[in-house]
Amino acid sequence: MGGGGRGNLFKSDPAMDDALITPEYVTQRLVLAGTVNSVVDQILAFREKVGDFGNLLYACHDWMDPALGKRSMELFATEVMPRVNAALRR
Residues 23-81: pLDDT tens digits? 898 888 888 999 999 999 999 999 999 899 888 888 877 678 888 888 999 999 999 99
Sketch the domain layout of the chain as residue ranges: 1-31, 34-90
pTM greater than 0.85: no
Helices (H), the chain: 23-30, 36-50, 66-75, 81-89
Residue 2 has pLDDT above 80, yes or no: no
Distance CA(25)–CA(87), nearest Å, equals 29
Distance CA(18)–CA(1), nearest Å, equals 8
